[in-house]
Structure 1
Amino acid sequence: MRKYVAFGLTLETDVNFTGILQESTAKTDVFINEGTIPEKANRPTRIHRRGVMATFGQTAASLLLNWAGIGKFSISEGNEIVYQQAGTDEGTLRLFLLSEVIGLLLHQRGLFLLHGSAVKLGDEALVFLGVPGAGKSTTAAAFGKAGYAVLTDDLVAIQLIDNKPVVVPAFPQYKIWKNTVDGLKIDNSLLEPSFEGATKFLVTQPLANFPRTPVPLRSITLLYPTNSRKKNERLKPLVAPVELLKHFPLPSQLLTSQYIQTHFKDALRIAQFSEINQLKRPDGFEALNQFVQTVSAQRIHS
Protein backbone atom coordinates (compact mmCIF):
# COMPACT_ATOMS: atom_id res chain seq x y z
CA MET A 1 0.00 0.00 0.00
CA ARG A 2 1.31 3.44 -0.95
CA LYS A 3 0.22 6.95 -0.05
CA TYR A 4 -0.33 9.76 -2.54
CA VAL A 5 -1.83 13.26 -2.63
CA ALA A 6 -4.78 14.32 -4.82
CA PHE A 7 -7.26 17.16 -4.21
CA GLY A 8 -5.47 17.95 -0.96
CA LEU A 9 -6.20 14.48 0.43
CA THR A 10 -3.78 11.70 1.32
CA LEU A 11 -4.89 8.54 -0.48
CA GLU A 12 -3.75 5.13 0.78
CA THR A 13 -4.20 2.63 -2.03
CA ASP A 14 -3.11 -0.56 -3.74
CA VAL A 15 -3.26 1.24 -7.12
CA ASN A 16 0.12 2.40 -8.41
CA PHE A 17 0.06 6.19 -8.96
CA THR A 18 3.85 6.62 -8.77
CA GLY A 19 5.04 9.29 -11.20
CA ILE A 20 1.49 10.64 -11.56
CA LEU A 21 0.61 11.75 -8.03
CA GLN A 22 2.85 13.24 -5.38
CA GLU A 23 3.72 10.80 -2.61
CA SER A 24 2.70 11.50 0.98
CA THR A 25 3.67 10.52 4.50
CA ALA A 26 0.72 12.31 6.11
CA LYS A 27 -2.18 10.71 7.92
CA THR A 28 -4.50 8.84 5.55
CA ASP A 29 -7.69 10.67 4.55
CA VAL A 30 -9.03 8.18 2.00
CA PHE A 31 -8.60 4.44 1.50
CA ILE A 32 -8.85 3.06 -2.07
CA ASN A 33 -8.93 -0.71 -2.36
CA GLU A 34 -10.11 -3.48 -4.66
CA GLY A 35 -13.17 -5.44 -3.58
CA THR A 36 -16.49 -6.92 -4.61
CA ILE A 37 -19.45 -4.59 -5.14
CA PRO A 38 -22.73 -6.54 -5.16
CA GLU A 39 -25.04 -3.51 -5.20
CA LYS A 40 -26.50 -2.42 -8.53
CA ALA A 41 -25.96 0.97 -10.16
CA ASN A 42 -28.35 1.11 -13.12
CA ARG A 43 -29.66 4.68 -13.26
CA PRO A 44 -28.51 6.46 -16.46
CA THR A 45 -26.34 9.60 -16.25
CA ARG A 46 -24.97 12.19 -18.65
CA ILE A 47 -21.42 11.17 -17.73
CA HIS A 48 -19.46 9.55 -20.55
CA ARG A 49 -15.83 8.42 -20.66
CA ARG A 50 -14.28 6.49 -23.53
CA GLY A 51 -17.73 6.57 -25.09
CA VAL A 52 -19.22 4.60 -22.20
CA MET A 53 -22.11 6.05 -20.20
CA ALA A 54 -21.78 5.80 -16.43
CA THR A 55 -24.70 4.47 -14.44
CA PHE A 56 -25.43 5.56 -10.91
CA GLY A 57 -26.79 3.98 -7.76
CA GLN A 58 -27.17 4.82 -4.11
CA THR A 59 -27.47 2.93 -0.84
CA ALA A 60 -27.89 4.18 2.71
CA ALA A 61 -24.11 4.27 3.10
CA SER A 62 -22.61 4.57 -0.37
CA LEU A 63 -22.73 6.20 -3.78
CA LEU A 64 -22.20 3.81 -6.70
CA LEU A 65 -20.85 4.41 -10.18
CA ASN A 66 -20.53 1.79 -12.90
CA TRP A 67 -18.93 1.90 -16.34
CA ALA A 68 -19.72 -1.28 -18.28
CA GLY A 69 -16.52 -3.04 -19.28
CA ILE A 70 -14.42 -0.71 -17.11
CA GLY A 71 -15.37 -1.25 -13.48
CA LYS A 72 -17.69 -0.67 -10.56
CA PHE A 73 -16.99 1.87 -7.83
CA SER A 74 -18.46 2.33 -4.35
CA ILE A 75 -17.78 5.59 -2.48
CA SER A 76 -18.56 5.81 1.23
CA GLU A 77 -18.54 8.51 3.91
CA GLY A 78 -16.01 10.70 2.14
CA ASN A 79 -13.15 8.43 3.13
CA GLU A 80 -13.37 5.13 1.27
CA ILE A 81 -13.43 4.03 -2.38
CA VAL A 82 -13.83 0.37 -3.33
CA TYR A 83 -13.32 -0.60 -6.97
CA GLN A 84 -14.12 -3.80 -8.83
CA GLN A 85 -12.36 -4.13 -12.15
CA ALA A 86 -14.15 -5.39 -15.24
CA GLY A 87 -11.11 -6.38 -17.28
CA THR A 88 -9.62 -2.93 -17.80
CA ASP A 89 -5.93 -2.01 -17.56
CA GLU A 90 -4.44 -0.09 -14.63
CA GLY A 91 -3.94 3.10 -16.66
CA THR A 92 -7.65 3.26 -17.46
CA LEU A 93 -8.51 2.42 -13.87
CA ARG A 94 -6.40 5.35 -12.64
CA LEU A 95 -8.13 7.68 -15.10
CA PHE A 96 -11.60 6.71 -13.89
CA LEU A 97 -10.66 6.82 -10.21
CA LEU A 98 -9.36 10.38 -10.58
CA SER A 99 -12.46 11.63 -12.42
CA GLU A 100 -16.07 11.40 -11.25
CA VAL A 101 -15.25 8.65 -8.74
CA ILE A 102 -13.13 10.92 -6.57
CA GLY A 103 -15.64 13.65 -7.43
CA LEU A 104 -18.34 11.72 -5.61
CA LEU A 105 -16.04 11.43 -2.60
CA LEU A 106 -15.39 15.19 -2.65
CA HIS A 107 -19.16 15.71 -2.88
CA GLN A 108 -19.57 13.62 0.26
CA ARG A 109 -16.96 15.83 1.95
CA GLY A 110 -18.99 18.95 1.11
CA LEU A 111 -16.82 20.61 -1.52
CA PHE A 112 -18.30 22.86 -4.22
CA LEU A 113 -17.68 21.08 -7.54
CA LEU A 114 -17.65 22.30 -11.12
CA HIS A 115 -16.87 20.71 -14.48
CA GLY A 116 -14.08 22.95 -15.72
CA SER A 117 -10.39 23.76 -15.68
CA ALA A 118 -8.30 25.90 -13.35
CA VAL A 119 -4.85 27.47 -13.48
CA LYS A 120 -2.64 29.18 -10.91
CA LEU A 121 -1.54 32.67 -11.86
CA GLY A 122 0.63 34.30 -9.23
CA ASP A 123 -1.01 33.53 -5.90
CA GLU A 124 -4.52 33.17 -7.32
CA ALA A 125 -6.61 30.67 -9.26
CA LEU A 126 -8.55 31.28 -12.46
CA VAL A 127 -11.37 28.88 -13.32
CA PHE A 128 -12.77 28.31 -16.82
CA LEU A 129 -16.16 26.70 -17.47
CA GLY A 130 -18.08 25.88 -20.62
CA VAL A 131 -20.04 23.23 -22.46
CA PRO A 132 -18.01 20.41 -24.09
CA GLY A 133 -15.90 21.94 -26.85
CA ALA A 134 -16.03 25.44 -25.38
CA GLY A 135 -12.26 25.45 -24.95
CA LYS A 136 -11.77 25.23 -21.19
CA SER A 137 -9.11 22.49 -21.35
CA THR A 138 -7.39 24.15 -24.30
CA THR A 139 -7.34 27.45 -22.42
CA ALA A 140 -5.78 25.72 -19.42
CA ALA A 141 -3.21 24.07 -21.68
CA ALA A 142 -2.25 27.47 -23.11
CA PHE A 143 -1.56 28.73 -19.60
CA GLY A 144 0.36 25.53 -18.91
CA LYS A 145 2.56 26.05 -21.95
CA ALA A 146 3.23 29.62 -20.73
CA GLY A 147 4.65 28.18 -17.51
CA TYR A 148 1.68 28.35 -15.15
CA ALA A 149 0.46 25.41 -13.09
CA VAL A 150 -2.69 23.72 -14.37
CA LEU A 151 -4.55 22.88 -11.16
CA THR A 152 -7.12 20.73 -12.99
CA ASP A 153 -8.51 20.27 -16.50
CA ASP A 154 -11.71 18.49 -15.56
CA LEU A 155 -12.98 18.59 -11.99
CA VAL A 156 -12.73 21.90 -10.11
CA ALA A 157 -13.03 21.59 -6.33
CA ILE A 158 -13.72 24.80 -4.43
CA GLN A 159 -13.61 25.01 -0.65
CA LEU A 160 -14.87 27.86 1.49
CA ILE A 161 -12.34 28.68 4.20
CA ASP A 162 -13.49 31.47 6.51
CA ASN A 163 -16.23 32.02 3.89
CA LYS A 164 -13.60 32.81 1.23
CA PRO A 165 -13.33 30.51 -1.82
CA VAL A 166 -10.13 28.62 -2.61
CA VAL A 167 -9.42 26.10 -5.37
CA VAL A 168 -8.04 22.78 -4.17
CA PRO A 169 -5.25 21.59 -6.52
CA ALA A 170 -6.22 18.28 -8.13
CA PHE A 171 -3.04 16.51 -9.29
CA PRO A 172 -0.13 17.29 -11.66
CA GLN A 173 -1.47 15.53 -14.76
CA TYR A 174 -3.90 16.93 -17.31
CA LYS A 175 -5.32 15.88 -20.69
CA ILE A 176 -5.18 17.72 -24.00
CA TRP A 177 -6.54 17.04 -27.47
CA LYS A 178 -4.26 16.39 -30.43
CA ASN A 179 -5.42 19.56 -32.20
CA THR A 180 -4.41 21.50 -29.06
CA VAL A 181 -0.98 19.87 -29.15
CA ASP A 182 -0.57 20.93 -32.77
CA GLY A 183 -2.14 24.37 -32.39
CA LEU A 184 -0.11 25.35 -29.32
CA LYS A 185 3.02 23.66 -30.71
CA ILE A 186 3.55 21.65 -27.54
CA ASP A 187 6.65 19.49 -27.44
CA ASN A 188 5.60 15.89 -28.08
CA SER A 189 8.37 14.63 -25.79
CA LEU A 190 6.37 16.00 -22.85
CA LEU A 191 3.37 13.85 -23.72
CA GLU A 192 2.11 10.30 -23.41
CA PRO A 193 -1.06 8.79 -24.86
CA SER A 194 -4.17 9.16 -22.76
CA PHE A 195 -6.09 6.09 -21.75
CA GLU A 196 -9.28 7.95 -22.64
CA GLY A 197 -8.78 7.84 -26.40
CA ALA A 198 -6.35 8.03 -29.31
CA THR A 199 -6.89 11.77 -29.85
CA LYS A 200 -6.02 12.77 -26.28
CA PHE A 201 -2.63 13.04 -24.62
CA LEU A 202 -1.43 13.38 -21.04
CA VAL A 203 0.82 16.14 -19.75
CA THR A 204 2.51 15.43 -16.43
CA GLN A 205 3.74 18.57 -14.69
CA PRO A 206 6.81 18.39 -12.41
CA LEU A 207 5.58 16.76 -9.23
CA ALA A 208 7.93 18.69 -6.98
CA ASN A 209 6.57 22.06 -8.16
CA PHE A 210 2.86 21.27 -8.17
CA PRO A 211 0.89 23.23 -5.53
CA ARG A 212 -0.30 21.26 -2.52
CA THR A 213 -2.16 23.98 -0.65
CA PRO A 214 -5.47 25.62 -1.66
CA VAL A 215 -5.21 28.64 -3.96
CA PRO A 216 -7.45 31.72 -3.46
CA LEU A 217 -10.02 31.98 -6.24
CA ARG A 218 -9.73 35.16 -8.31
CA SER A 219 -12.30 34.55 -11.04
CA ILE A 220 -14.62 32.11 -12.79
CA THR A 221 -15.01 32.63 -16.53
CA LEU A 222 -17.83 31.09 -18.57
CA LEU A 223 -16.48 30.45 -22.08
CA TYR A 224 -18.75 30.65 -25.13
CA PRO A 225 -18.12 30.04 -28.87
CA THR A 226 -16.68 32.94 -30.83
CA ASN A 227 -19.94 33.33 -32.78
CA SER A 228 -22.04 33.49 -29.62
CA ARG A 229 -24.33 36.44 -28.99
CA LYS A 230 -23.05 36.63 -25.43
CA LYS A 231 -21.21 39.80 -24.43
CA ASN A 232 -17.81 39.83 -22.81
CA GLU A 233 -18.78 41.13 -19.40
CA ARG A 234 -18.74 40.58 -15.67
CA LEU A 235 -21.92 39.00 -14.37
CA LYS A 236 -23.88 40.14 -11.37
CA PRO A 237 -23.36 38.00 -8.25
CA LEU A 238 -27.06 37.10 -8.05
CA VAL A 239 -26.87 35.08 -11.28
CA ALA A 240 -23.97 32.97 -10.01
CA PRO A 241 -26.03 30.17 -8.41
CA VAL A 242 -27.98 29.42 -11.59
CA GLU A 243 -25.01 29.78 -13.96
CA LEU A 244 -22.70 27.62 -11.85
CA LEU A 245 -25.34 24.93 -11.32
CA LYS A 246 -25.26 24.32 -15.09
CA HIS A 247 -21.72 23.00 -14.66
CA PHE A 248 -22.36 20.46 -11.90
CA PRO A 249 -20.05 17.55 -12.85
CA LEU A 250 -21.75 14.61 -11.15
CA PRO A 251 -24.95 12.58 -11.68
CA SER A 252 -28.05 14.76 -11.64
CA GLN A 253 -29.63 12.40 -9.10
CA LEU A 254 -27.53 14.21 -6.49
CA LEU A 255 -29.30 17.51 -7.15
CA THR A 256 -31.69 17.15 -4.24
CA SER A 257 -33.54 20.08 -2.72
CA GLN A 258 -31.13 20.06 0.21
CA TYR A 259 -28.13 20.19 -2.10
CA ILE A 260 -29.68 23.00 -4.17
CA GLN A 261 -30.11 25.11 -1.03
CA THR A 262 -26.47 24.59 -0.06
CA HIS A 263 -25.35 25.26 -3.63
CA PHE A 264 -27.17 28.61 -3.81
CA LYS A 265 -25.75 29.73 -0.48
CA ASP A 266 -22.18 28.73 -1.38
CA ALA A 267 -22.40 30.16 -4.92
CA LEU A 268 -23.40 33.55 -3.54
CA ARG A 269 -20.44 33.48 -1.17
CA ILE A 270 -18.12 32.60 -4.05
CA ALA A 271 -19.50 35.47 -6.13
CA GLN A 272 -19.02 37.85 -3.22
CA PHE A 273 -15.25 37.36 -3.24
CA SER A 274 -14.57 36.37 -6.87
CA GLU A 275 -15.38 37.71 -10.32
CA ILE A 276 -17.89 35.77 -12.41
CA ASN A 277 -17.29 36.61 -16.07
CA GLN A 278 -18.57 35.48 -19.43
CA LEU A 279 -16.27 35.56 -22.44
CA LYS A 280 -16.38 34.56 -26.07
CA ARG A 281 -13.37 32.31 -26.42
CA PRO A 282 -10.38 33.65 -28.38
CA ASP A 283 -10.65 32.83 -32.08
CA GLY A 284 -7.72 30.59 -32.92
CA PHE A 285 -4.51 29.60 -31.16
CA GLU A 286 -2.67 32.83 -31.89
CA ALA A 287 -5.49 34.80 -30.26
CA LEU A 288 -5.50 32.34 -27.35
CA ASN A 289 -1.78 32.86 -26.73
CA GLN A 290 -2.35 36.62 -26.82
CA PHE A 291 -5.20 36.21 -24.33
CA VAL A 292 -2.88 34.36 -21.94
CA GLN A 293 -0.28 37.12 -22.23
CA THR A 294 -2.88 39.84 -21.64
CA VAL A 295 -4.41 38.14 -18.61
CA SER A 296 -0.96 37.45 -17.18
CA ALA A 297 0.05 41.08 -17.56
CA GLN A 298 -3.19 42.29 -15.97
CA ARG A 299 -2.75 40.01 -12.95
CA ILE A 300 0.89 40.99 -12.49
CA HIS A 301 0.06 44.71 -12.44
CA SER A 302 -3.20 44.46 -10.48
Structure 2
Amino acid sequence: MNKYLAFGLTIETEVDFNGVLQDSTAATDVLIKEGAIPEKANRPTRIHRRGVMAKFGVADTRLLLDWEGVGKFSVSEGKEIVYQNLGADIGTLRLFLLSEVIGLLLYQRGLFLLHGSAVKIGNNSSVFLGIPGAGKSTTAAAFGKAGHTVLTDDLVAIKLINTKPFVVPGFGQYKIWENTVNGLKIDRSTLKPSFEGASKFLVMQPLSDFPQTPTPLKNITLLYPANSRKKNESIKPLLAPVELLKHFPLPIQLLTSTYLQKHFTDALKIAQFATINQLKRPDGFEALAQFVQAF
Protein backbone atom coordinates (compact mmCIF):
# COMPACT_ATOMS: atom_id res chain seq x y z
CA MET A 1 0.00 0.00 0.00
CA ASN A 2 1.01 3.61 -0.60
CA LYS A 3 0.74 6.56 1.76
CA TYR A 4 -0.57 9.98 0.80
CA LEU A 5 -1.39 13.28 2.48
CA ALA A 6 -4.80 14.97 2.29
CA PHE A 7 -6.56 17.29 4.77
CA GLY A 8 -3.59 16.96 7.12
CA LEU A 9 -4.02 13.18 7.35
CA THR A 10 -1.74 10.38 6.22
CA ILE A 11 -3.86 7.99 4.17
CA GLU A 12 -2.77 4.42 3.51
CA THR A 13 -4.43 2.80 0.51
CA GLU A 14 -4.03 0.70 -2.62
CA VAL A 15 -5.99 3.31 -4.61
CA ASP A 16 -3.59 5.12 -6.94
CA PHE A 17 -3.45 8.79 -5.95
CA ASN A 18 -0.05 9.43 -7.56
CA GLY A 19 0.05 12.90 -9.07
CA VAL A 20 -3.10 13.87 -7.16
CA LEU A 21 -1.98 13.72 -3.52
CA GLN A 22 1.37 14.34 -1.90
CA ASP A 23 3.31 11.32 -0.67
CA SER A 24 3.63 10.84 3.07
CA THR A 25 6.03 8.93 5.28
CA ALA A 26 4.22 9.67 8.56
CA ALA A 27 2.28 7.19 10.64
CA THR A 28 -1.05 6.15 9.14
CA ASP A 29 -4.10 8.15 10.24
CA VAL A 30 -6.62 6.71 7.80
CA LEU A 31 -6.94 3.41 5.97
CA ILE A 32 -8.86 3.24 2.68
CA LYS A 33 -9.54 -0.29 1.49
CA GLU A 34 -11.84 -2.18 -0.86
CA GLY A 35 -14.45 -4.54 0.56
CA ALA A 36 -18.04 -5.70 0.43
CA ILE A 37 -20.63 -3.43 2.09
CA PRO A 38 -23.83 -5.43 2.61
CA GLU A 39 -25.81 -2.66 4.31
CA LYS A 40 -27.94 -0.34 2.19
CA ALA A 41 -28.05 3.42 2.51
CA ASN A 42 -31.61 4.46 1.67
CA ARG A 43 -32.07 8.01 2.94
CA PRO A 44 -32.18 10.60 0.12
CA THR A 45 -29.76 13.55 0.34
CA ARG A 46 -29.19 16.84 -1.45
CA ILE A 47 -25.76 15.63 -2.57
CA HIS A 48 -25.42 15.04 -6.30
CA ARG A 49 -22.34 14.15 -8.30
CA ARG A 50 -22.41 13.38 -12.01
CA GLY A 51 -26.17 13.73 -11.78
CA VAL A 52 -26.44 10.87 -9.29
CA MET A 53 -27.98 11.51 -5.87
CA ALA A 54 -26.14 10.10 -2.89
CA LYS A 55 -28.09 8.06 -0.38
CA PHE A 56 -27.11 8.11 3.28
CA GLY A 57 -27.32 5.49 6.00
CA VAL A 58 -26.01 4.46 9.40
CA ALA A 59 -24.88 0.98 10.42
CA ASP A 60 -23.80 0.74 14.06
CA THR A 61 -21.25 3.57 14.31
CA ARG A 62 -20.44 3.54 10.59
CA LEU A 63 -21.69 6.20 8.18
CA LEU A 64 -22.72 5.05 4.70
CA LEU A 65 -22.95 6.80 1.34
CA ASP A 66 -24.17 5.08 -1.82
CA TRP A 67 -24.06 6.38 -5.38
CA GLU A 68 -25.91 4.05 -7.73
CA GLY A 69 -23.64 2.78 -10.49
CA VAL A 70 -20.58 4.36 -8.89
CA GLY A 71 -19.83 2.95 -5.47
CA LYS A 72 -20.81 2.24 -1.89
CA PHE A 73 -18.76 3.73 0.94
CA SER A 74 -18.56 3.00 4.67
CA VAL A 75 -16.74 5.38 7.05
CA SER A 76 -15.91 4.44 10.63
CA GLU A 77 -14.46 6.25 13.65
CA GLY A 78 -12.62 8.83 11.56
CA LYS A 79 -10.02 6.18 10.78
CA GLU A 80 -11.24 3.89 8.03
CA ILE A 81 -13.01 4.11 4.67
CA VAL A 82 -14.23 0.95 2.95
CA TYR A 83 -15.39 1.22 -0.65
CA GLN A 84 -17.23 -1.17 -2.91
CA ASN A 85 -16.73 -0.23 -6.55
CA LEU A 86 -19.95 -0.47 -8.60
CA GLY A 87 -18.30 0.18 -11.95
CA ALA A 88 -16.40 3.46 -11.51
CA ASP A 89 -13.11 4.11 -13.27
CA ILE A 90 -10.12 5.15 -11.18
CA GLY A 91 -10.59 8.88 -11.81
CA THR A 92 -14.23 8.77 -10.77
CA LEU A 93 -13.42 6.67 -7.71
CA ARG A 94 -10.82 9.20 -6.59
CA LEU A 95 -13.28 12.05 -7.13
CA PHE A 96 -15.94 10.48 -4.91
CA LEU A 97 -13.48 9.39 -2.21
CA LEU A 98 -12.06 12.91 -1.95
CA SER A 99 -15.46 14.62 -1.77
CA GLU A 100 -18.26 13.86 0.69
CA VAL A 101 -16.76 10.48 1.60
CA ILE A 102 -13.69 12.00 3.20
CA GLY A 103 -16.05 14.69 4.49
CA LEU A 104 -17.80 12.05 6.59
CA LEU A 105 -14.44 11.02 8.01
CA LEU A 106 -13.55 14.64 8.87
CA TYR A 107 -16.98 14.99 10.48
CA GLN A 108 -16.21 11.98 12.67
CA ARG A 109 -12.89 13.58 13.61
CA GLY A 110 -14.67 16.71 14.85
CA LEU A 111 -13.60 19.28 12.25
CA PHE A 112 -15.82 22.25 11.37
CA LEU A 113 -16.97 21.69 7.79
CA LEU A 114 -18.29 24.06 5.15
CA HIS A 115 -19.29 23.76 1.50
CA GLY A 116 -17.00 26.29 -0.14
CA SER A 117 -13.51 27.12 -1.35
CA ALA A 118 -10.46 28.40 0.50
CA VAL A 119 -7.38 30.23 -0.73
CA LYS A 120 -4.10 31.16 0.92
CA ILE A 121 -3.27 34.84 0.67
CA GLY A 122 0.06 35.65 2.24
CA ASN A 123 0.24 33.79 5.53
CA ASN A 124 -3.51 33.62 6.06
CA SER A 125 -6.48 31.92 4.45
CA SER A 126 -9.80 33.21 3.15
CA VAL A 127 -12.95 31.12 2.70
CA PHE A 128 -15.65 31.73 0.08
CA LEU A 129 -19.13 30.31 0.57
CA GLY A 130 -22.29 30.58 -1.48
CA ILE A 131 -25.27 28.83 -2.99
CA PRO A 132 -24.70 26.96 -6.28
CA GLY A 133 -23.96 29.52 -8.96
CA ALA A 134 -22.81 32.19 -6.53
CA GLY A 135 -19.27 32.01 -7.91
CA LYS A 136 -17.23 30.54 -5.06
CA SER A 137 -15.23 28.14 -7.28
CA THR A 138 -14.73 30.78 -9.97
CA THR A 139 -13.56 33.25 -7.33
CA ALA A 140 -11.07 30.72 -5.96
CA ALA A 141 -9.85 29.99 -9.50
CA ALA A 142 -9.28 33.72 -10.06
CA PHE A 143 -7.10 33.82 -6.95
CA GLY A 144 -5.31 30.71 -8.22
CA LYS A 145 -4.55 32.35 -11.56
CA ALA A 146 -3.22 35.40 -9.70
CA GLY A 147 -0.61 33.18 -8.03
CA HIS A 148 -2.32 32.28 -4.76
CA THR A 149 -2.74 28.70 -3.56
CA VAL A 150 -6.22 27.21 -3.59
CA LEU A 151 -6.20 25.27 -0.32
CA THR A 152 -9.41 23.38 -0.92
CA ASP A 153 -12.28 23.31 -3.35
CA ASP A 154 -15.83 22.28 -2.46
CA LEU A 155 -15.05 21.00 1.06
CA VAL A 156 -13.52 23.35 3.64
CA ALA A 157 -12.24 21.87 6.90
CA ILE A 158 -11.55 24.26 9.78
CA LYS A 159 -9.63 23.17 12.86
CA LEU A 160 -9.60 25.09 16.11
CA ILE A 161 -6.08 25.21 17.55
CA ASN A 162 -5.89 26.89 20.97
CA THR A 163 -9.39 28.28 20.19
CA LYS A 164 -8.14 29.96 16.98
CA PRO A 165 -9.45 28.84 13.56
CA PHE A 166 -7.17 27.36 10.91
CA VAL A 167 -8.02 26.04 7.44
CA VAL A 168 -6.68 22.53 6.87
CA PRO A 169 -5.18 22.24 3.35
CA GLY A 170 -7.12 19.67 1.34
CA PHE A 171 -5.11 18.63 -1.72
CA GLY A 172 -3.53 20.31 -4.72
CA GLN A 173 -6.19 19.97 -7.41
CA TYR A 174 -9.41 21.92 -7.84
CA LYS A 175 -12.30 21.95 -10.32
CA ILE A 176 -13.38 24.78 -12.61
CA TRP A 177 -16.22 25.21 -15.09
CA GLU A 178 -15.65 25.64 -18.81
CA ASN A 179 -16.94 29.23 -18.76
CA THR A 180 -14.36 29.96 -16.04
CA VAL A 181 -11.61 28.52 -18.24
CA ASN A 182 -12.70 30.84 -21.04
CA GLY A 183 -13.35 33.88 -18.85
CA LEU A 184 -10.06 33.68 -16.99
CA LYS A 185 -8.20 32.74 -20.20
CA ILE A 186 -6.67 29.63 -18.67
CA ASP A 187 -4.55 27.48 -20.98
CA ARG A 188 -6.57 24.32 -21.63
CA SER A 189 -3.42 22.33 -22.31
CA THR A 190 -2.59 22.56 -18.59
CA LEU A 191 -5.95 21.10 -17.52
CA LYS A 192 -7.27 17.57 -17.06
CA PRO A 193 -10.84 16.22 -17.23
CA SER A 194 -12.60 16.33 -13.87
CA PHE A 195 -14.47 12.99 -14.24
CA GLU A 196 -17.56 14.94 -13.15
CA GLY A 197 -18.77 16.04 -16.56
CA ALA A 198 -17.63 17.45 -19.88
CA SER A 199 -18.02 21.05 -18.69
CA LYS A 200 -15.61 20.75 -15.74
CA PHE A 201 -11.82 20.59 -15.67
CA LEU A 202 -9.11 19.97 -13.07
CA VAL A 203 -6.39 22.46 -12.26
CA MET A 204 -3.30 20.70 -10.90
CA GLN A 205 -1.21 22.81 -8.53
CA PRO A 206 2.43 21.76 -7.98
CA LEU A 207 2.43 19.15 -5.23
CA SER A 208 5.90 20.20 -4.09
CA ASP A 209 4.61 23.68 -3.21
CA PHE A 210 1.27 22.73 -1.70
CA PRO A 211 1.00 23.61 2.03
CA GLN A 212 0.98 20.74 4.52
CA THR A 213 0.09 22.59 7.71
CA PRO A 214 -3.10 24.47 8.72
CA THR A 215 -3.26 28.16 7.77
CA PRO A 216 -4.79 30.83 10.05
CA LEU A 217 -8.29 31.80 8.93
CA LYS A 218 -8.63 35.55 8.40
CA ASN A 219 -12.04 35.99 6.82
CA ILE A 220 -15.12 34.25 5.46
CA THR A 221 -17.03 35.76 2.55
CA LEU A 222 -20.63 34.77 1.78
CA LEU A 223 -20.97 35.29 -1.97
CA TYR A 224 -24.24 36.14 -3.67
CA PRO A 225 -25.04 36.54 -7.38
CA ALA A 226 -24.37 39.97 -8.85
CA ASN A 227 -28.11 40.62 -9.26
CA SER A 228 -28.92 39.65 -5.68
CA ARG A 229 -30.83 42.03 -3.42
CA LYS A 230 -28.33 41.34 -0.66
CA LYS A 231 -26.20 44.25 0.53
CA ASN A 232 -22.43 44.21 0.86
CA GLU A 233 -22.04 44.21 4.62
CA SER A 234 -20.45 42.46 7.57
CA ILE A 235 -22.19 39.73 9.53
CA LYS A 236 -22.43 40.16 13.27
CA PRO A 237 -20.48 37.46 15.17
CA LEU A 238 -23.62 36.35 17.04
CA LEU A 239 -25.22 35.45 13.69
CA ALA A 240 -22.26 33.30 12.61
CA PRO A 241 -23.70 29.95 13.79
CA VAL A 242 -26.88 30.36 11.76
CA GLU A 243 -25.19 31.79 8.65
CA LEU A 244 -22.49 29.11 8.56
CA LEU A 245 -24.93 26.27 9.21
CA LYS A 246 -26.55 27.09 5.85
CA HIS A 247 -23.35 25.83 4.21
CA PHE A 248 -23.08 22.44 5.88
CA PRO A 249 -21.70 20.15 3.13
CA LEU A 250 -22.93 16.72 4.26
CA PRO A 251 -26.31 14.94 4.59
CA ILE A 252 -28.65 16.88 6.86
CA GLN A 253 -29.29 13.67 8.84
CA LEU A 254 -25.93 14.40 10.52
CA LEU A 255 -27.28 17.59 12.08
CA THR A 256 -27.99 15.95 15.41
CA SER A 257 -28.55 17.87 18.63
CA THR A 258 -25.01 17.00 19.78
CA TYR A 259 -23.48 18.20 16.53
CA LEU A 260 -25.54 21.41 16.54
CA GLN A 261 -24.37 22.29 20.04
CA LYS A 262 -20.75 21.89 18.94
CA HIS A 263 -21.40 23.78 15.70
CA PHE A 264 -22.80 26.80 17.53
CA THR A 265 -19.92 26.85 20.01
CA ASP A 266 -17.25 26.48 17.33
CA ALA A 267 -18.88 29.04 15.02
CA LEU A 268 -18.80 31.66 17.76
CA LYS A 269 -15.11 30.92 18.36
CA ILE A 270 -14.40 31.24 14.64
CA ALA A 271 -16.21 34.59 14.50
CA GLN A 272 -13.97 35.93 17.29
CA PHE A 273 -10.91 35.73 15.03
CA ALA A 274 -12.25 35.75 11.46
CA THR A 275 -14.42 38.48 9.98
CA ILE A 276 -17.56 37.31 8.15
CA ASN A 277 -18.94 39.39 5.31
CA GLN A 278 -21.64 39.01 2.70
CA LEU A 279 -20.80 40.28 -0.76
CA LYS A 280 -22.37 40.36 -4.20
CA ARG A 281 -19.87 38.74 -6.53
CA PRO A 282 -18.07 40.98 -9.02
CA ASP A 283 -20.01 41.21 -12.28
CA GLY A 284 -17.81 39.85 -15.06
CA PHE A 285 -14.30 38.43 -15.20
CA GLU A 286 -12.60 41.80 -15.54
CA ALA A 287 -14.28 43.01 -12.35
CA LEU A 288 -13.35 39.72 -10.67
CA ALA A 289 -9.67 40.23 -11.53
CA GLN A 290 -9.83 43.71 -10.01
CA PHE A 291 -11.52 42.28 -6.91
CA VAL A 292 -8.71 39.73 -6.48
CA GLN A 293 -6.06 42.46 -6.75
CA ALA A 294 -7.81 44.61 -4.16
CA PHE A 295 -8.73 41.82 -1.71
TM bucket by the smaller chain? over 0.9
CA distance in 1, matches of 2:66, 2:24: 29
In the other structure, the counterpart of 1:124 is: 124
Describe how 1:30-109 pairs up with structure 2 within 5 A. 30-109=30-109
What residue number does 1:205 align with?
Answer: 205
TM-score (norm 1): 0.97
* TM-score, structure 2 normalization: 0.99
Q: Distance in 2 between matches of 1:106 and 1:193?
A: 26
Q: Which residue of 2 aligns with 1:176?
A: 176
Q: Is 2:278 the counterpart of 1:267?
A: no
Give the superposition deviation at 1:61: 2.0
Counterpart of 1:298? none
Q: Which residue does the alignment assign to 1:293? A: 293
Alpha-carbon separation, structure 2, partners of 1:125 and 1:136:
14
C-alpha distance in structure 2 between counterparts of 1:113 and 1:261, whole Å: 14
Q: Distance in 2 between matches of 1:225 and 1:110?
A: 32
What is the match of residue 191 of structure 2?
Answer: 191
Per the alignment, residue 245 of structure 2 pairs with 245
TM superposition shift of 1:60: 1.7
SS at match of 1:282: coil
Structure 2, gaps ≥5 residues long: none
In the alignment, residue 190 of structure 2 is paired with which amino acid? L
* Whole-angstrom CA distance in 2 between matches of 1:113 and 1:49: 19
Separation of aligned partners in 1, 2:187 and 2:143: 15
Name the residue aligned to 1:229.
229
SS in 2 for 1:69: coil
- RMSD, matched Cα: 0.5
Paired amino acid for 2:280: K
Could you tell me how far apart the structure 2 residues matched to 1:21 and 1:8 are? 11
Q: d(CA) in 1 for partners of 2:137 and 2:218?
A: 18
Aligned length: 295
Aligned partner of residue 159 in structure 1, secondary structure:
strand
CA distance in 2, matches of 1:138, 1:229: 21
Deviation at 1:40, TM superposition (A): 1.0
Percent of aligned positions that are identical: 76
CA-to-partner distance for each residue in 1:164-196, whole Å, 9 max, x for gaps?
000000000000000000000011121011100
TM-superposed deviation, 1:132: 0.4
Question: What is the alpha-carbon distance in structure 1 between the residues aligned to residue 249 and residue 65 of structure 2?
Answer: 13
Output the CA distance in 2 between the equivalents of 1:142 and 1:190. 16
* Superimposed CA distance per residue, residues 197-218 of structure 1 (whole angstroms, 9 cap, x where no aligned partner): 0000001100000000000000
TM-aligned CA deviation for residue 233 of structure 1: 1.2
| Separation in 2, partners of 1:154, 1:38 | 29
SS state at 1:153 partner? strand
1:2 aligns with 2:12: no
SS of residue in 2 equivalent to 1:213:
coil
| Stretches (4+) displaced over 2 A | none
